[in-house]
Amino acid sequence: MQLRVNVTNNNVFENIEDLLFGDDRAVAGWFMKNLPGEVYENLSPQYELQVISSIQIKKLLWSNAFKNIKGFYFGTEQCEFLMPTLEETKKAIQFTKDFDKKYTSKDIKRFVFLTPYFGNPQMRDRLLENLQYLNDNAHFINPKTKDGELNKDGKSIVEVVVNDYGVLHMLKDFPNLEPILWRILIKTLKNPIVDTLWLEKNVHIPWELMKNKSPEEINEIKHKIAENQKIWIGRSALNNEYFLKFLNRKWVDRAWIDYLQDYGTLYDTAVNIDIYYPYALIFIGRLCDVSAINNIKRWYYPIDETCPRTCWKYDISIQNFETVGYKVIQKWNAGYKSQADLTLPAQTVEKYGNRLVYTPLM
């Protein structure tokens, strides 16, 4: 399994070494300095998760895992207004190369571009500008190596993560770009309410099954129902043969899926997978409460003016869910559940084509 890092913006990229290699105090200081508009009672809930997840990765892979990062994902999957400009993308590519020079390994670190779904014409022009640059400069961005990604003609490629079937269709015009199907397009059950279904205390048994049963027998029935529900929840579209045939027709051989700490069966798939850790996406939409912090007109309603990216200064913790072993965080126009306990099946870890994509900060 390869380790890669997802970087949402260049402010994070500029400080990536502090986030990956700093001690607890240094990381806490970074949060306080770089998120001055935080809305929290104490420190951001992302701080605790960042520290715990970093330790978990070192346990799963190796103690110097971060010095052997295979590459970076740059961009956002959520709000179209967060799509990088071309200048921001060029800067991120340079950050990738600088990191590669400082922490050399046998493989040159690869650059992957991450795109959101979109509908704004201005953002479409920004996306096309980025795609054209990545296609024309793939040989510079991701030089050919023995283990490097190549297209069918043996040329360097840049992988592009897509959250929109329209973007997938666009990529056919760019021969040096190859798609990764992102998690918004991979159907997976991960709502916090779903997580409580398989808890035995929440299992509902029809009266007909409980009739004339002893307490011990009822508990056993609850246990069996809970285990069956857990198996049902631990599946995704990547376990569906018809969806896999669709991916094959679209020349997609890699897909992104959330890391869900209780559902190891999710990762037994026929395609190579990128496992997103430690934030699992719960919901996403057009409404953004975060942007309303600085502009009351944005409260609950989308408006046409371009967003000033208020969300890069704030995050909001939501506590009014019955959660089990994780926090719920709203960031951008989306909600996430933290999944810190990193335990993957051995066959998933041993498969080199799989990637663990770590996000130190949203």
Which 3-state string (H, E, C) describes 285-335? CCCCCHHHHCCHHHCCCCCCCCCCCHHHHCCEEECCCCCCCCCEEEECCEE
Highest mean pLDDT: which of 15-24, 38-47, 222-231, 252-261?
15-24
The number of C-alpha atoms within 13 Å of 91 and in the hemisphere containing its C-beta is: 14
Q: At CA 294, angle to CA 292 and CA 300, rounded to 5?
A: 5
| Contact (CB, 8 A) for 27 and 47 | yes
Q: pTM score, two decimals?
A: 0.83
User: In the block, which residue shows the tokens 């506590």?
Assistant: 319
pLDDT reported for residue 40: 44
pLDDT reported for residue 286: 73
Residue 246 has pLDDT above 60, yes or no: yes
Residue 117 has pLDDT above 50, yes or no: yes
Q: At CA 83, angle to CA 298 and CA 109, rounded to 5?
A: 145
| Contact (CB, 8 A) for 353 and 272 | yes
pLDDT reported for residue 140: 92
| Contact (CB, 8 A) for 34 and 361 | no
Residue 242, amino acid: Y
**Burial tier of 346 (Cβ tally within 10 Å: 0-12, 13-18, 19+):** exposed
pLDDT reported for residue 347: 85
Q: Count of H helices and E strands in the chain? A: 13, 12
